[in-house]
């Protein structure tokens, strides 16, 4: 008896979302298809073809989905400026990069966004031509600086050429963290154990948004009171858990988490997608809804991470310990997060001045004598 031959149907990835980007003055749109593990541009021309090869190479190299997504939207803006003309990109120089930078500045983009898109153009050019963007007259190059800030001494930089890439200076405003009253008002509107657990994961453990979303069930260890967190560039760290956050996690697992849930720790609770992992859009809509409901406009996900760092600093925790808990590669990044208000500064100043004045008898004599 002859067995039937089964036809093998190739696996075709199904996109989970689509973004339309206006591409030309005529109103033409390009589509960005987002899959579970990749992004692709749906369009014509060699620029689009090379871009999709570039995204594939990024995924093979191990870049995160966030990094690839940033490349996608950065290159889309570049293609729009080039009018999707490959020959123009072949002749691309630093002067063109400077003109594009001026165009983005005119459109009102923030310095960080402009610098990110400039970096996208540089990396993509190097991928296409295995070379850096050639120099050209009429470009004001910045003063050289060393890319890796960990090298602080001249001897450490010996033999290394400073970077002179075009960029826009980014202002460094004083970062303002959420007040305890704002945190309490926001949390008072949370009705589900899952929502409380999500906020506490950032407020009490300092997790990033994507770290919360990517947290797996086996990453949480209730016996050792700690969790394993997969951070940026797939760097893992161990974060301790307090009693309050463990209680919040336990209540969520006992009373709300569906029995058929996937491997992710935080999942959708209701509807046809119940048990599926939270995604970026669901996570953002959750915070958007509760910001509006509570009236705490500053309650963005990352603000709770800032509050965590500031609270640790106020409690006297060393900066190196905070750096380890936040998963920062550079201590300078941690210093940006540690935001102390004027009351904290005044308290420490008064405490220090009291000790200093005790050392100098003349100060006591001059200020107390009438």
Three-state SS annotation for 354-368:
HHHHHHCHHHHHHHH
The mean pLDDT value for 254-281 works out to 90
| CATH 1.10.443.10 domain range(s) in the chain | 180-339
> 205: phi > 0 → left, psi -120 to 50 → alpha, else beta; which?
alpha
Phi, psi of 145 (to 5 degrees): -140, 155
For 339-356, give one letter per residue: b (16+ CB within 10 A) or e.
beeeeeeeeeeeeeeeee
**pLDDT of 249 above 80:** yes
Share of the chain above pLDDT 90, in %: 47
* Mean of per-residue pLDDT scores for the chain: 82
* Least reliable range by pLDDT among 123-127, 278-282, 308-312, 355-359: 355-359
**pLDDT of 341 above 70:** no
The first and second tokens of residue 161, run together, are: 């050429």
Phi, psi of 163 (to 5 degrees): -80, 135
Nearest CA-CA partner of 222 in 239, 203, 241: 241
The mean pLDDT value for 102-123 works out to 93
Active site residues: 208, 232, 302, 305, 328, 337
Superfamily covering domain 180-339: Intergrase catalytic core (1.10.443.10)
**pLDDT of 220 above 80:** yes
The residue behind tokens 């999500």 is: 198
Task: Say what the pTM is.
Answer: 0.72
């Amino acid at each position: 008896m002859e067995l039937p031959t089964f036809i093998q149907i190739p696996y075709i990835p199904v996109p989970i979302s689509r973004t339309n980007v206006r591409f030309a003055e005529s109103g033409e749109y390009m589509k960005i298809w987002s899959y579970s593990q990749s992004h692709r541009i749906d369009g014509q021309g060699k620029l689009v073809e090379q871009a999709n090869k570039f995204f594939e190479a990024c995924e093979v190299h191990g870049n995160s989905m966030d990094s690839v997504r940033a490349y996608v939207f950065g290159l889309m803006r570049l293609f729009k400026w080039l009018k999707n003309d490959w020959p123009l990109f072949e002749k691309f120089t630093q002067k063109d990069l400077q003109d594009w930078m001026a165009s983005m500045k005119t459109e009102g983009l923030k310095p960080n966004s402009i610098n990110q898109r400039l970096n996208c153009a540089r990396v993509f050019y190097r991928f296409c031509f295995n070379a850096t963007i050639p120099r050209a007259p009429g470009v004001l190059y910045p003063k050289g600086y060393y890319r890796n800030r960990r090298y602080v001494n001249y001897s450490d930089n010996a033999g290394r050429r400073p970077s002179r890439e075009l960029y826009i200076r980014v202002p460094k405003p004083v970062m303002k963290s959420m007040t305890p009253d704002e945190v309490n008002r926001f949390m008072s509107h949370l009705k589900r154990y899952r929502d409380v657990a999500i906020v506490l994961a950032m407020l009490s453990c300092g997790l990033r948004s994507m770290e919360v979303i990517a947290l797996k069930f086996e990453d949480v260890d209730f016996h050792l009171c700690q969790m394993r967190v997969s951070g940026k560039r797939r760097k893992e760290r161990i974060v301790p858990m307090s009693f309050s956050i463990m209680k919040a996690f336990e209540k969520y697992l006992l009373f709300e988490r569906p029995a058929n849930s996937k491997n992710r720790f935080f999942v959708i609770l209701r509807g046809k997608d119940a048990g599926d992992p939270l995604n970026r859009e669901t996570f953002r809509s959750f915070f958007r809804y509760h910001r509006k409901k509570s009236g705490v406009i500053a309650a963005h996900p990352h603000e709770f991470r800032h509050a965590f760092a500031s609270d640790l600093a106020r409690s006297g925790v060393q900066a190196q310990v905070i750096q380890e808990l936040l998963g920062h590669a550079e201590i300078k990044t941690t210093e940006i997060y540690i935001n102390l208000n004027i009351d904290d500064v005044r308290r420490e100043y008064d405490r220090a001045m009291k000790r200093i004045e005790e050392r100098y008898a003349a100060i006591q004599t001059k200020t107390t004598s009438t």
